[in-house]
Amino acid sequence: MTDNGGGISPEDLPLALSPHATSKISQTSDLDHIATLGFRGEALASIASVSRLSIRSRIPDSNAAFLLETEGVVDNLPPGAVRPASGPVGTSVTVRNLFFNTPARRKFLRTPATEQSRCVDALTELAMAHPAVAFLAKADGRLVLDVPPGQDPVDRALDLLGRELKDQLLLVSADEQSDARGIALWGLVGLPAVARATRAAQHVFINGRAVRDRTIQHALAEAYRGILEPGRQATALLMLDMSPEAVDVNVHPQKAEVRFRDSGLVHSVVYHAVKRALVAADLTPTISMLRPHVGAREILPAGSSHLPANGATPLDADAHRRAFVDYFRRASPGTTQSPISYSEVRQAIDAAGPAPTPPPFAPASQSSISTHTPHDDTPHTTSLPTAVPASAVLQVHNSFLVTQDEQGVVIVDQHALHERVMFEALLARVLETDLESQRLLAPVILDVLPAQASRLDDLGPLLRRIGIEASQTGPRQIAIHAFPTFLFDRNVDPAEFFPDLLDKATAAGFAPESEDALRDVLDMMACKAAVKAGDRMSPSELGELLRLREAVERSSNCPHGRPTTVRLTIRELERLFGRS
């Protein structure tokens, strides 16, 4: 590993291998203001103790470099261990024959390819966080990483994440200031089409340091709730800048995890910034006969002031990006410039102004297909293209709606879209008050498993919220006394709905008191109540459903994360008919 930094003086070279040595702390209070990277105190000493290690370093004021070589020794270095050598300003650390003196440790290493991959991953994260610095890595004579210096953060991210993602990423920008707890956020998040099975494509940085943090992971997952299928993880690159006093980086041996002074603020900033970017974008997938992809859109290019996404609301994040460009350029190559301070970043972003939010959209009046809720008059944020009137809607096989917008032909899954509409209506109502219920003239008696009957008491608060009143009348019997009016109006049979609810309640991981459990049950209610594939709809119902598509947030996906709508663009139609 080679850098072109300030180097290490010959007197300090032996100290660099001393256990727990560090040049980052000179007094106790410095522990609360750590704003640099580098080896953890014992890391270099630990590496030197199990390898043949050499350090070649030169400080700017010296005419020569100095070389220190060891073979599994870190204490009591022999006289003359440090000797003059040739070399440029900076430091080069070379490690050979790792675990040569501890073969038992070497047996725990994975295959060369696996260990090589881990090294490249670590370098890639460093390169993401420091686009001003060039990175070059070779393995077995093969170039595995090569990025130039002085890059824009967006260009560096695309070089490392893949240029093919350019049309699949959205900008994220936010700024929350609260004394020393302020947070500035800049990043890129992927559209649902580029979600992965694991979190391997999620890269989070705090003050330039790559971390894994459950608070941020949870905020990201919540922002994507309802637009990703279960088990899929969003692609994201998030850069957070905050005061060193607001984050403790010394809670993990590898500094891979941190502890926030105000984790609630961090969660809120990430969640709302990512959700705002997703709401502002048109997430309708586009049909391509050549390859499946999501509709054409570009991330913010240098010098631009808005997202040129299909139907997306302009989001002026360019000033925030420029502020982070300055932040990333902590130290120009060949200098020993100190990192830009938190206050300097704050001043730059303050000058840029707040990251704007999309304007609200006020839905029109409700009709028979929708469900009235106390929140119906609340403006919903949306950026979906406007559909045509119901007279131009074709219902295909009583399952799909075909219409058009300014971009091409739009195909809607009537059940999936109506399910999303119902879910949002139920969620809005239940967050304000319990759902209305209707007493039954005679209770519905159900035969259930003993394990299901035993869960009834735990389910009591949840059942009351959704308008169900039930009691256990025997070891294997439950009586339903009241049922949600909403489900009655949609002709849902209590004898069919409640057993499915009990099956869900007895599944592993179901916590009745949690928000996730409430959403799961509301999703089930919406699915039961929505129009089905095969249901014939009247022209007015067709028009109302398409209108609600524009008025309901996240209508591009059903609550399970599957798409409700796909688009065949004019460009694809022209290509199919040989016009281009």
**In the chain, helix, strand, coil percent, each to 5?**
35, 20, 45
Residue 341: the pLDDT is 44
Enumerate residues 6+ apart whose C-beta is below 8 A from 274.
172, 189, 219, 220, 223, 224, 236
- The CATH architecture one would assign to domain 360-580 is 2-Layer Sandwich (3.30)
- Spell out, as residue ranges, where the chain has pLDDT lower than 50: 39, 289-346, 349, 354-391
- The number of beta carbons lying within 10 Å of the beta carbon of residue 183 is 25
**End-to-end C-alpha distance for the chain, whole angstroms:** 51
**Average pLDDT of the chain to the nearest whole number:** 78
Instruction: Parse the chain into domains and list their residue ranges.
Output: 13-109, 153-352, 360-580
Q: In whole angstroms, give the CA distance from residue 453 to residue 448.
A: 6
The position carrying tokens 């902590």 is 330
Q: Do residues 564 and 227 make contact, with C-beta atoms less than 8 angstroms apart?
A: no
**String of DSSP letters for 476-507:** TEEEEEEEEHHHHHTT--HHHHHHHHHHHHTS
Whether domain 153-352 has CATH 3.30.2230.10: the reply is no
Query: pLDDT (tens digit, 9 = 90+) per residue, 418-471?
Result: 999 989 889 989 989 999 999 999 999 999 888 888 889 999 999 999 999 999
Residue 345: the pLDDT is 45
Residue 302: the pLDDT is 35
Q: In whole angstroms, give the CA distance from residue 80 to residue 82.
A: 5
Residue 288: the pLDDT is 59
Residue 179: the pLDDT is 54
- The three state secondary structure string of 237-283 is EEEEEECHHHEECCCCCCCCCCEECCHHHHHHHHHHHHHHHHHHCCC
Whether domain 13-109 has CATH 3.30.565.10: the reply is yes
User: Strands 209-211, 135-139: parallel, antiparallel or unpaired by DSSP?
Assistant: unpaired
Residue 373: the pLDDT is 34
Residue 272: the pLDDT is 92
**Sign of torsion, CA 17 19 20 21?**
negative
Q: Do residues 469 and 463 make contact, with C-beta atoms less than 8 angstroms apart?
A: yes
Query: pLDDT (tens digit, 9 = 90+) per residue, 125-145?
Result: 999 988 988 999 888 888 989
Q: In whole angstroms, give the CA distance from residue 283 to residue 294.
A: 7
- The number of beta carbons lying within 10 Å of the beta carbon of residue 61 is 8
